[in-house]
Amino acid sequence: MKNAEEIFDILKKEFGDSILSLDKDTPTEPIISVDPLLVHKISKFLRENEELNFDSLMCLSGVDDANGTKVKDDDGLESIQGGTLSVYYHLHSIELKHKITIKVATPREDAKVESVENVWKCADWHEREAYDMYGIIFLNHPDLRRILMPYDWEAGYPLRKDYKNPEFYQGMKVPY
């Protein structure tokens, strides 16, 4: 069993600057931030290293950090420019009984994160959901389609903070 600092040190030794920070002042599990374009390699290491042995991805979630600047257009509609979207990976080692949360932050306008689908198979649908709700592109994902919204949904990504619901979808009125 390893605590968060030990896990952070092991990762830091292996990957150096791609491991960005360790945040322990959270009411939840400690969070290690890593580079979104190296998360596949790091995940593979987390899973295969004997001292870490993270054999279970408990959850993978997208988050809209909404830390950009709010811009109002001519119609008074607000949108967010800049800032980041994040993906959180909640990992658990059933064998060694320790947990950690990995976080990647990616720019809102060009949200790209490496897929970890071939490290933890369950990431497949979780990543599709994060793509569906936030528009985060998971590179090398085998089947990156919408999973909950209709396949022909063109109004954007519903859980983004600046999302606007459309008036009509296929001739059906959407607002109340």
Instruction: Kindly list the residues in this chain that would bind another protein in the complex (CB under 8 A).
Output: 148-150, 158, 163, 165, 169-170, 172-176
Q: State the SS3 of the chain.
A: CCCHHHHHHHHHHHHHHHEEEEECCCCCCCEEEECCCCHHHHHHHHHHCCCCCCCEEEEEEEEECCCCEEEECCCCCEEEECCEEEEEEEEEECCCCEEEEEEEEEEHHHCEEECCCCCCCCHHHHHHHHHHHHCCEEECCCCCCCCCCCCCCCCCCCCCCCCCCCCEECCEECCC
Query: Min. distance of Cβ 80 from another protein in angstroms?
Result: 17
Question: Minimum distance from CB of 125 to another protein (Å)?
Answer: 16
Phi and psi for 30 in degrees, rounded to 5? -60, 145
The residue (of 74 and 176) whose beta carbon lies closer to another protein is: 176
Shortest distance (Å) from residue 150 CB to another protein: 4
Q: What are the Cα distances from residue 15, in Å, to 11, 34, 38, 115, 140?
A: 6, 10, 9, 18, 21
For another protein, the closer CB: 97 or 173: 173
> Residue 122 or residue 159: which is nearer to another protein going by CB?
159
Q: Which is nearer to another protein, 71 or 148 (CB)?
A: 148
CB of residue 52 to another protein, shortest distance in Å: 38
Min separation Cβ 64 and another protein, Å: 14
Q: Which is nearer to another protein, 76 or 150 (CB)?
A: 150
